[in-house]
Chain A
């Protein structure tokens, strides 16, 4: 999936060393990245550190991102997720050993790296199948069928706005289901 025009423009500007573009990327995506980091780590201070670091990595190594391969949102989410999971694992290790955790890996993440291990991906698929039918169909069409919100609405015979809110509700339920399992 190619990135939208805005992503390309912001990327061009960041590569060209335009600080204000970094500010704009932050304004647009920081609450999503912070929300994701918070969901994974459940620690506001750590989530703030991770959020800061994600945008710094993008600024420092902007060429690691390739708009031909995905959206900026997905790219930053991938980095945030990686760091958040690393933190959680390091915390777990610290609980069982006296070894200090290595909070952040220094090397930039590559987009082709997988976000989820095979068993985690399977848990996501399972969570999708346990969604109520209306939500499940909408999610499957949008994510596995590559449909737009409008097309999802057409196929389900509902307005575009309804399709969109079903997908968002489904995403929320998924996040909750996945969080419960982790406890």
Chain B
């Protein structure tokens, strides 16, 4: 900001004053009407509710022609939002939450995405946005009462409900960044507590991404240090059947957000900025396998 303007505004603020009556209660109810807050949900689902609110804030500023612009996978913004709603709806079905939109036919992500994109194309972008948000909030409300360890199967993968919702959170986050980049808007990172839960999921997924890439990490252990807000340290047993990690065979140190995005298919494993130590070929294998679970 121009120094003269900053000086001027500071001068104008030099006489703080208090309104006759507090505007705070009015403000908060007015705020709720203008933009829905993150849906109330269980603590373990809050990273997802937060990313949904952030995506919705981005969509609120999308102009008419933004909606028809291709973002990723050859999808327009409207189709991308329909894709998110499709996968959210499948998770909703898997945990017994209400499923909005047309009834589910084939319950795999690709088919449901096709179906929902076809359905939403006939609707306005604003309706698509509302449909997506309504599905996400319905899912959040349902999760508020669900035990986090509830076994849940989605796309043939059975893990606990809390991990599925963190995966939804990561995907919503990544696609919000995709859309924000297209609109040249800088999206702030989630708060540290939310990043940490995402990072924890990503660290725990490493044995699975290796397995899906045809690599057997049985009996081997990685020490993963993720730096930046929300980061931390993880000792990961690399075999899908391993129960306890042993002494680390290798160490990986990387930025926490970049690491999450690598798992989410954003970033080239060969160029990934990380400090590697110990068994370097194994460390590189881990990084190369990391995006294995990322789909559209």
A binds B: yes
Residues of A within 8 A of B (CB): 1, 8-9, 11-13, 15-19, 22-23, 26-27, 30-36, 38-40, 44, 47-48, 51-52, 55-56, 59-64, 66-70, 73-74, 77-78, 81, 108, 111, 114-116, 120-121, 124-125, 128, 139, 143-144, 146, 168, 171-172, 174-175, 178
By the criterion CB–CB under 8 Å, are B187 and A174 in contact?
no
* A173 CB, nearest partner CB in chain B, Å: 8
B18 surroundings in chain A (CB, below 8 A): 31, 34
A-B contact pairs, 28 of them (CB 8 A): A9-B191, A15-B53, A16-B191, A17-B49, A18-B53, A19-B37, A22-B27, A32-B13, A32-B16, A33-B13, A34-B16, A35-B15, A36-B9, A40-B12, A44-B20, A47-B19, A52-B26, A56-B30, A59-B35, A60-B34, A61-B60, A63-B186, A74-B1, A111-B1, A114-B2, A115-B9, A143-B3, A175-B11
A35 surroundings in chain B (CB, below 8 A): 12-17
A15 surroundings in chain B (CB, below 8 A): 53-54, 57, 187-188
Chain A residue with minimal CB distance to B9?
A77
* B41 CB, nearest partner CB in chain A, Å: 11
Residues of B within 8 A of A (CB): 1-20, 23-24, 26-28, 30-32, 34-38, 49-54, 56-58, 60-61, 180, 185-191, 194
Chain A residue with minimal CB distance to B185?
A63
Could you say which of B11, B24, B188 contacts A67, with CB atoms under 8 Å apart?
A: B188
By the criterion CB–CB under 8 Å, are A52 and B23 in contact?
yes
Known contacts A81-B9, A144-B3, A17 near B38 by CB under 8 Å: yes
By the criterion CB–CB under 8 Å, are A52 and B9 in contact?
no
By the criterion CB–CB under 8 Å, are A175 and B190 in contact?
no
Known contacts A74-B9, A175-B12, A26 near B24 by CB under 8 Å: yes
* B189 CB, nearest partner CB in chain A, Å: 7
Chain B residue with minimal CB distance to A55?
B27
A70 surroundings in chain B (CB, below 8 A): 1
Chain B residue with minimal CB distance to A44?
B20
State in angstroms the CA–CA spacing of A64 and B188 once bound together.
Answer: 11
Known contacts A11-B188, A175-B11, A121 near B19 by CB under 8 Å: no
State in angstroms the CA–CA spacing of A114 and B20 once bound together.
Answer: 31
By the criterion CB–CB under 8 Å, are A56 and B31 in contact?
yes
By the criterion CB–CB under 8 Å, are A17 and B57 in contact?
yes
By the criterion CB–CB under 8 Å, are B26 and A19 in contact?
no
By the criterion CB–CB under 8 Å, are B31 and A175 in contact?
no
Could you say which of A60, A73, A121 contacts B5, with CB atoms under 8 Å apart?
A: A121
Interface centre among B9, B11, B16, B194 (most CB of A within 10 A): B11
By the criterion CB–CB under 8 Å, are A77 and B23 in contact?
no
* A131 CB, nearest partner CB in chain B, Å: 11
By the criterion CB–CB under 8 Å, are A77 and B4 in contact?
no
By the criterion CB–CB under 8 Å, are B57 and A62 in contact?
yes
B185 surroundings in chain A (CB, below 8 A): 63
